[in-house]
């Protein structure tokens, strides 16, 4: 091989194929984050979002469902805002054709700030107040009642609108098809707190009657669970919901239920770069519930984690490298404040950690079992325990992979640590390191922390 040829190969390796290689995008973004000074001693932790990957996943979702549904089937893919409650992300997803699923006034406000129209928003929450129901339906946002008491509140709203629904209204059911690997995220167990429990004694008859009495109830909603559910179980939950809709419509003698919201919950791999199975899940739904996709029903989905998790990472400086009892410990700036689930339930939420040197280059060297610790003041604040990695040293960088959903965007205010800055990254041959960064959320300031912690009420307890 000539040296020119070797140089060419080298350059090609340095210039990744952005479209097809998420690991290469990530590597280049980490290196560029150092070059751009986004991560430095004074700002030792940042969140990074892969804009290319987010767009690709949004397209993959829309394509997967349009390939299995009859032409003309109305469909809304409402991104579950809780997975990544950042206005620029919601706006990016909206530009790619998605809507929003919200579960609190805050999430509704984020969707509105992102410019997501009411008719592309759905509101689910098990604890909606009367005022929240009034606000959401007044805007025209679809609402799913969780239980009989909430349905009575919708009765009042419809009554004061002279019997017509102010917005698309539906009922959430718990298909009770069983749980997955993670109890806390399994929403279709016998005793889950969400929706009307479909298999409880008398529940099915009650739901059918409730719908016949309320011609304005036009939707059914079920979300079987999040992460840890087999696709077959998710599809079984959807089938139960579909069969209930068929029963209601048969009893009504018309297509009263016209839209089925099948929730989210598509699992992601936290062990590899393999993308989520949008296509296989959509095809499984077609074989398990053919009537769902034949054009009879409008379709709403609410995917969260699967769209964002693999398109984000945390980059944290190693402040100190030490050892205790023979164990190497890298003390970093990423702990429970942004990897809350992993720290508190490490068995359910293991994440990949990648080691980089201070320049953002992949760290080489023999693998050494070490703890990757965070900055919080409790012993369990570890994002990885006894993990084999090239030995991290002070000034190196640890990257927590697959953390674009439910991690740095879902801050836990322990130790009054600030919410880190978040940047989106995109290829740009003209930019240093070949990467352009867009600020998505700036670093929370210490003044803001004081203000949010009763700073203005300083003398409240000593007066």
Ligand X SMILES: *Cc1c(COP(=O)(O)O)cnc(C)c1O
Binding mask 306-345 for ligand X (x = CB under 6 A): x---------------------------------------
Of the pair 281, 356, the CB lying nearest ligand X is at 281
264 binds ligand X (CB under 6 A): yes
Helix (H) or strand (E) holding 180: none
CA nearest to 84, candidates 404, 457, 451, 448: 404
Of the pair 193, 442, the CB lying nearest ligand X is at 193
Stretch that binds ligand X, among 105-113, 299-307, 434-442, 454-462 (CB under 6 A): 299-307
CB of 440 to ligand X, least distance (A): 19
- C-beta neighbour count of 439 within 10 angstroms: 12
Of the pair 29, 83, the CB lying nearest ligand X is at 83
189 binds ligand X (CB under 6 A): no
DSSP of 114-162:
TT--GGGEEE--TT--HHHHHHHHHHT-EEEE-SHHHHHHHHHHHHHTT
Question: For residue 443, what are the contacts with CB-CB under 8 A and spacing of at least 6?
Answer: 43, 418, 419, 420, 421
β partners of residue 422? 47, 441
Q: What residues numbered 140-179 form the site for ligand X, per CB under 6 A?
A: none
228 binds ligand X (CB under 6 A): no
Q: What residues numbered 444-463 form the site for ligand X, per CB under 6 A?
A: none
CB of 187 to ligand X, least distance (A): 7
107 binds ligand X (CB under 6 A): no
Of the pair 29, 307, the CB lying nearest ligand X is at 307
Per-residue buried b or exposed e for 370-386, using 16+ beta carbons within 10 Å of the residue's own CB: bbbbbbbeeeebbbbee
83 binds ligand X (CB under 6 A): yes
302 binds ligand X (CB under 6 A): yes
227 binds ligand X (CB under 6 A): yes
CB 382 within 8 A of CB 61: no
Assigned token pair, 283: 């095809």
Stretch that binds ligand X, among 38-46, 211-219, 222-230, 410-418 (CB under 6 A): 222-230
Of the pair 85, 433, the CB lying nearest ligand X is at 85
Stretch that binds ligand X, among 41-49, 147-155, 263-271, 392-400 (CB under 6 A): 263-271
β partners of residue 173? 196
Helix (H) or strand (E) holding 85: none
Q: Residue from 99, 237, 276, 304 that binds ligand X (CB under 6 A)?
A: 304
Of the pair 28, 226, the CB lying nearest ligand X is at 226
186 binds ligand X (CB under 6 A): no
Report how far residue 417's alpha carbon sits from residue 446's, in angstroms, rounded to the nearest whole number: 9
- C-beta neighbour count of 112 within 10 angstroms: 18
SS3 93: helix
Report how far residue 55's alpha carbon sits from residue 301's, in angstroms, rounded to the nearest whole number: 17
CB of 459 to ligand X, least distance (A): 41
Binding site for ligand X (CB under 6 A): 80, 82-83, 101, 124, 223, 226-227, 263-266, 302-306
């Amino acid at each position: 091989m000539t040296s020119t040829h070797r140089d060419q190969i080298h350059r090609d390796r340095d210039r990744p194929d952005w479209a097809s290689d998420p690991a290469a995008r990530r590597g280049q973004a980490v290196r560029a984050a150092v070059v751009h000074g986004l991560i430095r001693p004074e700002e030792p932790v940042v969140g990074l979002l892969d804009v290319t990957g987010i767009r690709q996943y949004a397209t993959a979702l829309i394509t997967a469902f349009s390939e299995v549904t009859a032409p003309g089937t109305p469909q809304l893919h409402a991104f579950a805002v809780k997975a990544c409650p950042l206005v620029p992300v919601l706006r990016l997803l909206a530009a790619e054709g998605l809507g929003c699923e919200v579960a609190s006034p805050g999430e509704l406000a984020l969707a509105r700030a992102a410019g997501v129209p009411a008719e592309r928003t759905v509101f689910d929450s098990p604890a909606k107040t009367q005022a929240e129901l009034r606000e959401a339906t007044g805007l025209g946002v679809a609402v799913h009642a969780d239980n009989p008491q909430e349905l009575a509140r919708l009765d009042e709203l419809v009554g004061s609108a002279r019997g017509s629904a102010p917005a698309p209204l539906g009922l959430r059911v718990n298909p009770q098809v069983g749980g997955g690997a993670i109890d806390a995220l399994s929403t279709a167990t016998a005793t889950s707190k969400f929706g009307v429990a479909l298999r409880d004694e008398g529940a099915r008859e009650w739901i059918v009657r409730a719908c016949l009495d309320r011609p304005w109830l036009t939707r059914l909603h079920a979300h079987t669970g999040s992460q840890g559910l087999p696709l077959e179980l998710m599809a079984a939950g959807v089938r139960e919901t579909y069969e209930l809709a068929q029963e209601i419509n048969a009893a009504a003698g018309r297509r009263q239920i016209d839209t089925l919201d099948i929730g989210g919950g598509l699992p992601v791999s936290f062990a590899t770069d393999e993308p989520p199975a949008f296509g296989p899940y959509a095809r499984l739904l077609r074989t398990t519930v053919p009537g769902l996709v034949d054009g009879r029903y409008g379709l709403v989905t609410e995917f969260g984690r699967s769209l964002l998790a693999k398109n984000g990472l945390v980059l944290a400086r190693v402040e100190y490298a030490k050892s205790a009892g023979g164990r190497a410990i890298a003390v970093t700036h990423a702990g429970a404040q942004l990897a809350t689930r992993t720290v508190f339930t490490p068995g359910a939420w293991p994440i990949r950690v990648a080691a980089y040197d201070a320049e953002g280059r992949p760290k080489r060297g023999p693998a050494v079992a070490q703890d990757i610790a965070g900055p919080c003041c409790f012993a369990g604040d570890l994002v990885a325990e006894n993990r084999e990695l090239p030995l991290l040293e002070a000034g190196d960088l640890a990257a927590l992979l697959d953390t674009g959903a439910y991690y740095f965007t879902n801050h836990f205010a322990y130790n009054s640590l600030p919410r880190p800055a978040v940047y989106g990254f995109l290829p740009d041959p003209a930019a240093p390191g070949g990467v352009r960064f867009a600020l998505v959320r700036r670093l929370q300031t210490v003044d803001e922390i004081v203000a949010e912690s009763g700073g203005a009420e300083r003398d409240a307890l000593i007066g």
